[in-house]
């Protein structure tokens, strides 16, 4: 979310039949039980994709934030080139908290995650937080109530349907992939600040896309954008998100221009008006991290969060080397982000264990 100018086992079908560029030695889907060198290769791929997801989030977040004040491709490239460091915002700060919770606690516990979010805000309040989470942190600190309960009281008792739960959801997709345990973990992580069912559904969409991207990479399969879009559409639980994702699916099949898609599905801080476009930004050019980020960051709206979400999914699919070196070498805390992502991958080495852990 942009808080202001101050900072501010998929079925075999949906994800395709080809090969990811750096997994060209595999023919078809892997068997479910990996042994020996296969298991080692899978765990290295998982590590790389976990790093790609977190660095992709941070790079997208930082570059998307710059795009608020450098809104054309040329100006944005010049601004990125001039920047000594690329500085991420609340999106990545909160994704780091989710990843740390998964690594250190082994699962998502709402109150413990809320405390992590609150500590992050206290340490770095300048990272462009929107108004909702800090108000929740303050009320919980003063009253000792549950984060989820306070979050439900926002916005007339409906809770926030902003994209703030979706923007930090990538680590959940890394840990739980697209397993049956993912929805519950996502809902628990989301409800700490975003109680509205559509806001939670948006977080599940991002996490599921990340999970699908990682599974495809590990299995050496190339994503088929339209098929994955349809799979993600079918997985939406709310009518709002399903409607928008069906539109994305249809636009992908029709080969529509990004501008037309952005106008049709939206790009605001509201979850159903930005999360589907972020998913589109990845699916439009799934093999090109830079093009994905251009689509996400250069069509207006909630640029940092759009690019953070799109960058997470692209990084999860393509891995760290696909993120342009001048970008990933200048993102702040890159060594810590890389180490945290590797620990996350090692803590959740496969979908079966992820399912058992929650």
* Residues lying near Mg ion in the complex (CB under 5 A): 89-91, 128, 304
Residue with tokens 């770095």: 124
Q: Judged by CB, which is closer to Mg ion: 206, or 228?
A: 206
Give the burial class of 327: count Cβ atoms within 10 A of its Cβ; 0-12 exposed, 13-18 middle, 19 or more buried. Answer: buried
Q: How far is the CB of 61 from Mg ion (least distance, A)?
A: 6
Q: How far is the CB of 2 from Mg ion (least distance, A)?
A: 5
Q: How far is the CB of 168 from Mg ion (least distance, A)?
A: 10
- Integer Cα distance of 86 and 216 in angstroms: 29
Q: Judged by CB, which is closer to Mg ion: 130, or 183?
A: 130
Q: How far is the CB of 284 from Mg ion (least distance, A)?
A: 22
Residue closest to Mg ion, measured at CB: 89
Q: How far is the CB of 146 from Mg ion (least distance, A)?
A: 25
Q: Judged by CB, which is closer to Mg ion: 164, or 183?
A: 164
Q: How far is the CB of 353 from Mg ion (least distance, A)?
A: 32
Q: How far is the CB of 242 from Mg ion (least distance, A)?
A: 26
Q: Judged by CB, which is closer to Mg ion: 117, or 348?
A: 117
Helix H, strand E, coil C: the string for the chain is CCCCCCCCCCCCCCCCCCCCCCCCCCCCCCCCCCCHHHHHHHHHHHHHHHHHHHHHHHHHHHHHHHCCCCCCHHHHHHHHHHCCCECCCHHHHHHHHHHHHHHHHCCCCHHHHHHHHHHHHHHCCCCCCCCHHHHHHHHHHHHCCCHHHHHHCHHHHCCCCECCCHHHCHHHHHHHCCCCCHHHHHHHHHHCCCCCHHHHHHHHHHHHHHHHHHHHHHCCCCCCHHHHHHHHHHHCCCHHHHHHHHHHHHHHHHCCCHHHHHHHHCCCCEHHHCHHHHHHHHHHCCCCHHHHHHHHHCCCCCHHHHHHHHHHHHHHHHCHHHCCHHHHCCECCHHHHHHHHHHHHHHCCCHHHHHHHC
Q: Judged by CB, which is closer to Mg ion: 47, or 168?
A: 168
Q: Judged by CB, which is closer to Mg ion: 128, or 183?
A: 128
Q: How far is the CB of 352 from Mg ion (least distance, A)?
A: 34
- Asked whether the beta carbons of 203 and 164 are under 8 A apart, the reply is no
Q: Judged by CB, which is closer to Mg ion: 124, or 288?
A: 124
Q: Judged by CB, which is closer to Mg ion: 168, or 231?
A: 168
């Amino acid at each position: 979310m942009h808080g202001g100018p101050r900072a501010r086992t998929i079925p075999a079908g949906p994800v395709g039949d080809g090969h990811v560029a750096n997994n060209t030695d595999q023919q078809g889907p892997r068997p479910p039980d990996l042994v020996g060198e296969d298991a080692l290769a899978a765990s290295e791929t998982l590590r790389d994709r976990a790093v790609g997801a977190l660095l992709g989030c941070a790079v997208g977040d930082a570059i998307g934030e710059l795009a608020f004040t450098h809104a054309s491709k040329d100006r944005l490239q010049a601004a990125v080139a001039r920047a000594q460091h690329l500085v991420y915002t609340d999106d990545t700060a909160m994704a780091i908290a989710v990843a740390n919770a998964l690594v250190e606690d082994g699962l998502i516990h709402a109150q413990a995650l809320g405390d992590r979010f609150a500590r992050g805000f206290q340490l770095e309040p300048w990272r462009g937080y929107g108004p909702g989470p800090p108000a929740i942190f303050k009320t919980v600190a003063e009253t000792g109530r549950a984060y989820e309960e306070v979050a439900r009281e926002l916005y007339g008792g409906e809770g926030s349907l902003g994209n703030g739960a979706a923007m930090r959801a990538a680590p959940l997709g890394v840990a739980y992939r697209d397993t049956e345990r993912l929805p519950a973990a996502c809902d628990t992580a989301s409800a700490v600040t975003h109680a509205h069912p559509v806001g939670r559904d948006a977080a599940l969409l991002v996490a599921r896309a990340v999970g699908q991207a990682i599974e495809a990479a590990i299995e050496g399969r190339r994503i088929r954008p339209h098929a994955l879009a349809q799979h993600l559409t079918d997985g939406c639980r709310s009518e709002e998100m399903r409607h928008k994702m069906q539109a994305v699916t249809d636009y992908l099949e029709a080969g529509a221009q990004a501008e037309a898609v952005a106008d049709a599905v939206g790009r605001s801080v509201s979850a159903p008006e930005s999360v589907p476009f972020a998913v589109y930004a990845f699916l439009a050019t799934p093999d090109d991290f830079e093009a994905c980020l251009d689509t996400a960051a250069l069509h207006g709206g909630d640029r940092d969060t759009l690019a953070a979400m799109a960058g997470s999914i692209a990084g999860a699919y393509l891995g760290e080397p696909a993120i342009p070196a001048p970008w990933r070498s200048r993102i702040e805390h890159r060594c810590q982000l890389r180490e945290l992502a590797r620990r996350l991958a090692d803590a959740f080495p496969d979908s079966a264990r992820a399912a058992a852990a929650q």
